[in-house]
Structure 1
């Protein structure tokens, strides 16, 4: 007969839950765009528009991946922005060049 021991059942489960929640928070905090950078990026893409590309099967959601076949463009005059951008389906998409994941979608 097994006796319920909260130390061996609840504590490890709670620790796993906290770890998973902490991982999600860290992932969300990896994307750091200051309000000033956001404004500069928004103005930059207005002044230097790119031709829109169509990428079938790619949903324009944060966390979605952009295929390697899509060319990412850098911000020439914007300091301290590690992200690249592309215009997909007439929407400007900010992409992490290391992971090719979408970090922001501008309408």
Structure 2
């Protein structure tokens, strides 16, 4: 019975939490590379916009300025924006938020 509950909870977990999906997309090593890059670049954070939902899966409007992450050690091309104290990682082609780092 416990095994069945464990399997059921593992099947449900991926669909219930954005933080789980975030871990699949970017691992700890990638997060470290991005975090160090953002600190080095000193991009001025923006304030959260009342009409924009900054959560994984949201497509950001053109009014949000994205910054390219230019790191050869990082697989994939990503952009980012700093919102308050969070770094929001974005797919540049689609402008879709793929990861949020607190």
Structure 1 partner of 2:96? 101
The alpha-carbon distance between structure 1 residues 83 and 40, as it changes in their structure 2 partners (threshold 3 A), is same
Gaps of 5+ in 2: 1-14, 16-20
- 2:30 equivalent to 1:40: no
Indicate the RMSD between aligned Cα atoms, in angstroms: 2.4
Count of matched residue pairs: 81
Partner SS for 2:52: coil
Are positions 1:50 and 2:43 aligned together?
yes
- Check 1:68–1:36 CA distance in 2 against 1; reply closer, same or farther (3 A cut): same
Residue 34 (structure 1) shift:
4.0
TM-score by length of 2: 0.63
Could you list the runs of 5+ residues in structure 1 that have no partner in the other structure?
1-23
Cα displacement string for residues 30-86 of structure 1 (whole angstroms, at most 9, x for unaligned residues): x74343222211221122221112322212211112111111111123443311001
Q: Does 1:87 align with 2:76?
A: no
Normalising by the residue count of structure 1, what TM-score does the alignment of the two structures yield? 0.61
Q: Mark the structure with the bigger radius of gyration.
A: 1
2:27 corresponds to 1:59:
no
Task: Extract structure 1 runs of 4+ deviating beyond 6 A.
Answer: none
Q: Secondary structure, in 3 states, of the residue corresponding to 1:93?
A: strand
